Amino acid sequence: MDFPKRSARELRDLAASGEVSPTELVEAALARIEAVDGKVGAFLSVEADSALARARELEAARARGEPCGPLYGVPIGLKDNLNHTGWPLTCASRVLEGYRASYDATAVRRLLDAGAVPVGRCNMDEFAFGSSTEHSAFQATRNPWKLDRIPGGSSGGSAAAVAAGMVPLAFGSDTGGSIRQPAALCGVAGLKPTYGRVSRFGLVAFGSSLDQIGPFSRDLRDSAVALGVISGRDPRDATSLDAPAFDPATIGEGVRGLRIGVPAEYFDERMDASILATVRAALARLEAEGATLVPLSLPTTPYAIPTYYLVATSEASSNLARFDGVRYGNRAAAKSLLEH
């Protein structure tokens, strides 16, 4: 089995048919991580015992006649800001070193219910502040395609893990591009869902009005399946949409009839010529496949980044105030204030 080149859907079908077992899929993922992650640095921790135990649980459930979920036996990576019971959770910061999650994020619980097998914690910029995954307290992540280049961030560990074939699916968070940008830099699919489509419960908050959890994959349909699994209303998140989960079957075949907006302001004269040419070629390909390109203008585009930094930094300041050493974070030893 050529594990690094298989899609999540192919692996799931192999496991569901009994051709391979979830344990064998996990072992293949662990072997691939062992072989390449020393150079890439995508994972902060690999939870091999937990993953193998989870795979055996799935096999036992299957033997009892329980149905296979849409991600049955599929190894996945989790960004280090998604709570998963019993696992380390550091947000790539020594402030949380030694902390272990006491509950599952809603998205993680839904992945488990779908049969997925988390294998490890993916590196990130500390507390998701950054766009290169160089600013982790523990290690820098490298781009698997060229090790002297960055993978992007802050979900660079998740993007690199998928690009290097260590897992077919990994999950990150996007506040101002932290899924979309590393996906582009690592050459994989990255999906930032509409705000509220996916519950934020159990995601360590950065900017509460901006954060969203989303998947990385090498296959676009894998991202659609993953979104279908993790989306849907959650009573524990008041900002989650009161709407049913996304149905992957609705995406159809091809792009014929699709209307694609092309904002004039996005084609800035400062763009690198090769990137501009690549984007233009992609638009031409979409049009040739039957999509309709619709020119439009977004005149407020120049204000997007300044607005983002006002909103994101003010919300981050409030959210990170909890890491004060009282409830969360390190508590430094100090002499009594009464001593002179």
Catalytic residues: 79, 154, 178
Number of other residues whose CB lies within 10 A of the CB of residue 1 = 13
Dist CA 174 CA 227 (whole Å): 14
Token readout for 94 is 């020594």
Q: How far is CA 15 from CA 67, 74, 167, 270, in A?
A: 12, 8, 15, 49
Dist CA 126 CA 328 (whole Å): 15
Dist CA 162 CA 123 (whole Å): 13
Q: How far is CA 238 from CA 200, 209, 214, 232, in A?
A: 9, 12, 19, 12
Report whether 5 contacts 139 (CB < 8 A).
no
Closest C-alpha among 119, 154, 129, 124 to residue 41: 124
Residue 270, Ramachandran bin (φ over 0: left; ψ between -120 and 50: alpha; else beta): alpha
Closest C-alpha among 293, 290, 297 to residue 279: 293
Alpha helices by DSSP H, the chain: 8-17, 22-40, 48-63, 106-113, 156-163, 180-186, 220-230, 273-288, 304-319
Token readout for 238 is 């008041």
Report whether 230 contacts 251 (CB < 8 A).
no
Token readout for 332 is 């430094």
Dist CA 80 CA 51 (whole Å): 16
DSSP structural state of residue 142: -
Token readout for 227 is 């979104």
Token readout for 147 is 């090790």
